Structure 1
């Protein structure tokens, strides 16, 4: 037992402790004169019991207890000795951490043994609670599945780690990882295999990372890493490349070799952001860009990426308001038949007069409309407007009965189970026959989602609706879909027309494409016709319909479109 006696004037206490030392051979006694000396000893050495007067020569006893108690962790008992003990004083002292308040006469061996036993018991309880607390902290900070630190711990630690990086003037890099195709893996192989993949990927990440890197599992299919002191762009690039290889390399799970890939976003402190929240946002922007760029890539945050995302968010959030506020317009580009020359159709092309971003072409908003699902409402608006306009043109004899409007649609629309019903409802609303509408879909999308849209296309074509493959020849895939799908029209991409007629190989290729489509009993529309020579060449190769700037740009003014149609009713190419 170690005892500290403060203010050695209490001769009775000294005598008692000297007597006690004969009973307990390992008892040691230290005597100091005042509170300051007591604090110095207690901060360096553990004492089981401290005996002191209520009034010290240099400071108040309660001040001494307050200054030392947090460091003592419940393992030291305080006995205050006084001649004047009042109930109010006892209550005040006991609530502040003093164990016993006695007179000098009450200070005896029995009291010391009792206080010592209580102290030992309390210290054991504290240590047990402390161990339990450490276990609880480990559980609350650690993800059960992967054994990595969890999202809550990571976010709590991020601010402090960045402050240290700032203090030590080193760079810190936040890397967010989103496992590609993880949902498909779960759906196909089951969640047990998916969980096993995450566990093995976590172990591989730890092998790649350094000991002082903070590696975390965010949940779902996301990991996060905070790497310190990668002081060059090359070092960070190589590190991100090694991380990506973890997911692009095969990981075996119950006999399945999974190569899922990952989209990775990297943001640097302080280059990309000034604090933890900004850094997290920057890394998310870069990760989103990597996923948007085709997955299994990594991107570094930049101001340009930030601006692009801000515009994208503005576009996505204002799409439905744009429909409601009549901000969208349809432009129509005429399609002309040859022998005899006449306007037989027009492609409806959407434009957006955005209130803050100005005039937007489709490539600025259609991809975001598709990913957000808002293409359903926007596409329905296009069909409604095109049908409404076609009725007016037919009623005013601007176009002939054979005139057909081509409308671009996406695989998202075709995959919507309500699409055909709403499409045919629209035709009935305007009393239009199905054969005056032709739906267009880009070749690459059609090939990728063939199984998804096959039945819908067949239902539409069987009802008399035309179905065209846009940008034909750019898909770099098998042409078997021309046999398997009921396609009625091929639109030859403008890239096959550029450079004609001086490019001999290009001429032969265009001729072969037109001939192949004709032999399959499909209509042919050649896009991108910009000169008289190109128009004449297409006519020579027996293309049925031509479209391009040689005839007209897309026309937004309906009066101008009507004038164009009337002027060409009897003209020659």
Structure 2
């Protein structure tokens, strides 16, 4: 056993040595010193099993020396406090400060000292085990078991402490939020084991990008956070961001497959962007959302303007839920006319939102929000039901043969709705609508993001409804795969029509029409705004025309009055070539 005696009284030290020798303890080394400073130095330099510490060590006292000892890194020594005092309150203070025992020098005998040392070392070992157990529990509470990084619990505490320190020292810090792009696809295609391996690889690469004081945490799922304290310049953040993206350049190889690693990263600065932890997290999250909205695989710094846009989007989503329940949505209808006779041959149902505070909101402002949430399914079913209901009413009240069709739009996410076919079947049966008078329109971008929806399109087509490819010519379609889909109709995007002022400018439109007709598709031209547009499209064999030249989208009652109950008289005669 190795012991250290710290006592400024030479007589007391000698007495302690004699008592130790008489105790029968197996002593390897007994060092002694009269100086508190030297005692701390000795305890720092080597390990002792126990220290006999005098309470009176001018100019310090034993508690102050004990505190200095306990500040030694990895200090693991039992401490017995010795004193001439009989003060029980003092003894309690020493034990509370960390001493394992308190002995009065006048009562020290060989047997008592031996028992005290053995009990103190045993007590200390128990205390160490408790501390180690607490440390293990702390690690479990603060460490992410999958990646070994700090977890959300640790991060929240670290962020609060970092902001407190930054305020006290008038410093800045940066918060980076990172989200892996399309991580769900890895889980869905390769399984969760592969997904976990992917996260572990990403965590190691992120870790290699950090500086010594940067705090890297996994918040959960595929989301990570980096806390950059004591920031001197935004250049430090930009350098860190560059290192992070550089570390992700090489693909991850899992199950013999190369997987690209891309992430969206948002940066917010304190105190420039926020006054507290909650607002700082919100700002970093807004910046990360912006990175995703801008195309992913990039970093964006927080901006107030984009924050306002995000808050507006959140409000739209919240209000849209109410709109579905409170009947604030309405369908407008835009007529389609026969390119030769100018007779009404179809209408397209277009959703509008009659917001109680804002007024009419066009679909391009709220449909993208609905598509990012599950609201698009409920919204899509409402459109189909309401359009079919209105169409049924027109069929019953029309004074003339009812031959035109009605079209409604579908989104990419609706193609993944397993209940879509059943809902459409119910609508057709409930409102007694011939299936061939209903058209469903999808954009080319819907095909790009829904290649797996081919079976759904075939199921819809098997009901007898017509399928139209909207905005044709602007995106994904090609000769190689277009015929794989059961489309009957191609709607030529208005971009190919609106710039035309003479037939000489219609070469691209001619090519699109020739392509569509060679494959047997019926064609509809959108964006007809002039008589020139009308005449050129008619001469190219386009069957149906739609645009403001004929009519803007109208409420159901107005369309009925102008187009169904009577023939429109606003159309100028068609020019013949």
TM-score range, shorter chain: 0.7 to 0.9
2:204 is the counterpart of 1:203: yes
Once the two structures are overlaid, the 10-residue window that deviates more, 435-444 or 141-150, is 141-150
Structure 1 position 388, deviation (Å): 1.8
Structure 1 position 433, deviation (Å): 1.1
Written as runs of structure 1 = structure 2, the 5 A alignment for 1:486-505 is 486-502=486-502, 504=504
Q: Distance in 1 between matches of 2:105 and 2:481?
A: 102
In structure 2, list runs of 5 or more residues that go unmatched. 44-49, 71-76
Equivalent residues of 2:472, 2:492 under 8 A apart: yes
Equivalent residues of 2:19, 2:113 under 8 A apart: no
Equivalent residues of 2:63, 2:94 under 8 A apart: no
Once the two structures are overlaid, the 10-residue window that deviates more, 344-353 or 271-280, is 271-280
Once the two structures are overlaid, the 10-residue window that deviates more, 488-497 or 217-226, is 217-226
Which residue of 2 is the match for residue 364 of structure 1? Answer: 365
Equivalent residues of 1:175, 1:225 under 8 A apart: yes
3-state SS, counterpart of residue 200 of structure 1:
helix
Q: Distance in 2 between matches of 1:30 and 1:168?
A: 40
Equivalent residues of 1:393, 1:399 under 8 A apart: no
Q: Distance in 1 between matches of 2:541 and 2:377?
A: 37
Written as runs of structure 1 = structure 2, the 5 A alignment for 1:227-242 is 227-228=228-229, 231-233=232-234, 236-242=237-243
Equivalent residues of 1:411, 1:445 under 8 A apart: yes
Equivalent residues of 2:176, 2:265 under 8 A apart: yes
Which of 77, 80, 95 does residue 77 from structure 1 map onto?
80
3-state SS, counterpart of residue 312 of structure 1:
helix
Written as runs of structure 1 = structure 2, the 5 A alignment for 1:529-548 is 529-548=528-547
3-state SS, counterpart of residue 483 of structure 2:
helix
TM-score, normalization by structure 2 = 0.83
Change in CA separation of 1:102 and 1:21 when aligned onto 2, cut-off 3 Å: closer
Which residue of 1 is the match for residue 47 of structure 2? Answer: none
Which residue of 2 is the match for residue 35 of structure 1? Answer: none
Written as runs of structure 1 = structure 2, the 5 A alignment for 1:22-41 is 26=30, 28=32, 30=34
Structure 1 position 130, deviation (Å): 4.5
3-state SS, counterpart of residue 352 of structure 2:
strand
Structure 1 position 431, deviation (Å): 1.4
Q: Distance in 2 between matches of 1:398 and 1:466?
A: 25
Equivalent residues of 1:343, 1:399 under 8 A apart: no
1:269-324 deviations in Å (ceiling 9; x for gaps): 22222222222222222222323443323222211222222222222223232112
In structure 1, list runs of 5 or more residues that go unmatched. 32-37
TM-score, normalization by structure 1 = 0.84
Structure 1 position 379, deviation (Å): 1.2
Once the two structures are overlaid, the 10-residue window that deviates more, 562-571 or 492-501, is 562-571
Written as runs of structure 1 = structure 2, the 5 A alignment for 1:122-133 is 122-127=123-128, 129-130=130-131, 133=134
Q: Distance in 2 between matches of 1:509 and 1:535?
A: 16
Once the two structures are overlaid, the 10-residue window that deviates more, 491-500 or 293-302, is 293-302
Q: Distance in 2 between matches of 1:547 and 1:563?
A: 16
Change in CA separation of 1:461 and 1:165 when aligned onto 2, cut-off 3 Å: same
3-state SS, counterpart of residue 554 of structure 2:
coil
Which residue of 2 is the match for residue 442 of structure 1? Answer: 443
Equivalent residues of 1:81, 1:103 under 8 A apart: yes
Once the two structures are overlaid, the 10-residue window that deviates more, 111-120 or 69-78, is 69-78
Which residue of 2 is the match for residue 468 of structure 1? Answer: 468
Equivalent residues of 2:55, 2:63 under 8 A apart: no
Change in CA separation of 1:147 and 1:566 when aligned onto 2, cut-off 3 Å: same
Equivalent residues of 1:467, 1:487 under 8 A apart: yes
Q: Distance in 2 between matches of 1:240 and 1:93?
A: 51
